[in-house]
Structure 1
């Protein structure tokens, strides 16, 4: 049974960019900021004290299963 919220294509792309950014994170003010904020609300990303976005453990798991297609 599918119990995870659906990710729009733009949010899937933002999650992938967030994954690729690693420790550096993604800065606020980029075109994908609305998607990053949505990912924070879903628990897939975190907003760090410096204002940058970072992927959460839940986001890493979701990225692996949905984008990389790995268990």
Structure 2
């Protein structure tokens, strides 16, 4: 049974971009800001004090399972 929240294609892309930028984070004001906020509400991203978003541990797990198609550890 599927029990994870559904991620729209745009949000999956935003989650992947969070992994690509690593510690730099994603700034606000870009086209994917609504997705970053949605990911933060789901616990997959978090806003930082410098106004950027970074991926969380839960976001890394979700990225591995949904984007990289790796089985859950």
Task: Report the TM range for the smaller structure's normalisation.
Answer: over 0.9
Provide the alpha-carbon RMSD of the alignment. 0.5
Which runs of 4 or more aligned residues in structure 1 lie more than 2 Å from their structure 2 counterparts after TM superposition?
none
The alignment of Structure 1 onto Structure 2 pairs a total of residues equal to 71
Q: Is 1:9–2:9 an aligned residue pair?
A: yes
1:45 shift after superposition:
0.2
Gaps of 5+ in 1: none
Q: Distance in 2 between matches of 1:66 and 1:43?
A: 15
User: Counterpart in 1 of 2:70?
Assistant: 70
Which residue of structure 1 lines up, in the alignment, with residue 21 of structure 2?
A: 21
Instruction: Note if 1:30 corresponds to 2:38.
Output: no
Task: Map Cα deviations across residues 15-64 of structure 1 (whole Å, 9 max, x no partner).
Answer: 00011110000000011000000000000000011110000000000000
The TM-score with structure 1 as length reference comes to: 0.97
TM-score by length of 2: 0.95
| Structure 2: 5+ residue stretches without partners | none
